[in-house]
């Protein structure tokens, strides 16, 4: 897997990630700086289709424009 493919193949997947963490402490500024370099990505479980919320689904509604709506009648 090439780095260019990460964004298309990895979202939703379960992976084991091995990385190197580097730390620099700057005493005069009382700050810390961390960097991480990815060494290895092992896909444990391929990505699943992400569930779509029912509120976000679009429903197709068939409308017959040739017919008129039914007239409501009042019952006594």
Written as tens digits, the pLDDT of the chain (76 aa) is: 788 888 888 888 899 999 999 999 998 888 999 999 999 999 899 887 656 666 665 655 555 555 555 555 666 5
Question: What pLDDT is attached to residue 24?
Answer: 94
Question: What pLDDT is attached to residue 67?
Answer: 54
Taking the C-alpha atoms of residue 43 and residue 12, their distance in angstroms, rounded to an integer, is 11
Taking the C-alpha atoms of residue 72 and residue 61, their distance in angstroms, rounded to an integer, is 22
The token pair at 74 is 């009042």
Helix, strand, coil percent values for the chain (each to nearest 5): 15, 35, 50
List the beta strands (DSSP E) in the chain: 14-26, 31-45
DSSP state, 62?
Answer: -
Do 20 and 39 touch, CB atoms closer than 8 A? yes
């Amino acid at each position: 897997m090439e780095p260019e493919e990460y964004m298309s193949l990895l979202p939703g997947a379960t992976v084991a990630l091995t990385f190197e963490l580097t730390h620099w402490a700057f005493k005069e500024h009382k700050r810390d700086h961390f960097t991480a370099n990815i060494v290895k990505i092992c896909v444990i479980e391929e990505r699943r289709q992400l569930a779509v919320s029912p509120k976000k689904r679009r429903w197709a509604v068939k409308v017959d424009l040739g017919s008129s709506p039914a007239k409501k009648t009042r019952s006594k």
